[in-house]
């Protein structure tokens, strides 16, 4: 058959059964997977921008996920308005700390992975399945993580199959792809110890969306107060943390106006209580 007769036709690999887009690329176009590349000998990763604190907490209607906006490169601020929270599909979102360029590529591939599965199988992946797929992608990045290009994601979702009151779920991961479900709240990144400390005193089950958002903003403020790599709300430049929620109705990012209002309210409270609100007893 003449070569011209093959033009416009898909290769046989496109008809191979399988619902994983990343596994398809690994088998047929591995060069397109940024997680499979390893730095040449002698190349150091210290100059790559890194994102820092992200957190999540469950509340009355679902789950909230938030992150600061700062990216650092050593002792320098590389970016002040980085987006670290992204929807993965209608009822699932992922935030990241770690190497920014690699993390953004991983999030984009993960979004395609979930959309590809749904198109092939005809049904959305379960939330547990989404967490497992993400852990596999992290494990595939182990070579680069060992060279300093680590990505630490935080996955949240609304699970309609879970019992009432437990449908907002949070998953964290380690560098080798270990998956851990967290109860109530969690934080990742360099400022996470301070953010988790704040959430320990502020979190309670059944919070409203506004209460959950304020608790998240207070936690990020505490992280920025003690961790130079985490950025607090910048009232002058009007750069505020990213705050999003996932409920039965799907993913929703809080508007800039709402986030600004809550951030200014939180900062004003800190003028009289620099250490933040006390825990309820």
Q: Tell which residue, 113, 124, 157, 155, has the closest CA to residue 25.
A: 113
Phi/psi region, residue 74 (left: phi>0; alpha: psi -120 to 50; beta: rest), is left
52 labelled catalytic: yes
Asked if 192 contacts 58 with a C-beta cutoff of 8 angstroms, the reply is: no
- Could you list the beta-strand ranges (E) of 134-195: 151-158, 168-173, 179-182, 185-188
Angle at the Cα of 65 from the Cα atoms of 50 and 201, rounded to 5 degrees: 100
In the set 16, 35, 52, 72, the catalytic residue is 52
What is the spatial distance between Cα 277 and Cα 21, in angstroms, rounded to a whole number?
A: 46
CA gap 106, 111 in Å, rounded: 9
Estimate the crossing angle of helix 100-121 against helix 21-28, to 10 degrees.
Answer: 110
- For the annotated catalytic residues, the residue numbers are 52
């Amino acid at each position: 058959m003449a070569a011209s007769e093959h033009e416009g036709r898909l290769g046989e690999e496109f008809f191979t059964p399988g619902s994983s887009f990343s596994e398809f690329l690994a088998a047929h176009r591995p060069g397109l997977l940024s997680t499979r590349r390893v730095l040449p000998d002698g190349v150091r990763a210290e100059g790559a921008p890194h994102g820092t604190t992200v957190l999540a907490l469950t509340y009355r209607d679902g789950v909230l996920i938030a992150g600061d906006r700062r990216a650092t490169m050593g002792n320098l601020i590389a970016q002040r308005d980085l987006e670290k929270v992204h929807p993965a599909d209608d009822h699932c979102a992922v935030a990241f700390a770690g190497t920014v360029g690699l993390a953004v590529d991983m999030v984009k591939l993960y979004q395609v992975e979930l959309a590809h599965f749904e198109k092939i199988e005809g049904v959305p992946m379960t939330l547990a399945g989404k967490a497992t797929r993400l852990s596999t992608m992290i494990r595939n990045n182990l070579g680069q993580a060992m060279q300093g290009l680590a990505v630490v994601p935080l996955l949240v979702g609304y699970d309609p199959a879970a019992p009432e009151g437990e449908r907002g779920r949070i998953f964290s991961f380690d560098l080798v792809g270990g998956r851990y479900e967290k109860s109530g709240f969690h934080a990742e990144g360099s400022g996470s110890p301070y953010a988790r400390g704040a959430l320990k005193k502020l979190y309670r089950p059944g919070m409203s969306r506004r209460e959950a958002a304020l608790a998240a903003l207070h936690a990020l403020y505490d992280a920025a107060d003690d961790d130079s790599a985490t950025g607090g709300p910048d009232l002058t430049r009007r750069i505020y943390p990213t705050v999003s929620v996932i409920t039965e109705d799907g993913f929703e990012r809080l508007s800039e106006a709402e986030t600004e209002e809550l951030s200014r309210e939180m900062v004003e409270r800190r003028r009289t209580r620099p250490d933040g609100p006390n825990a309820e007893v």
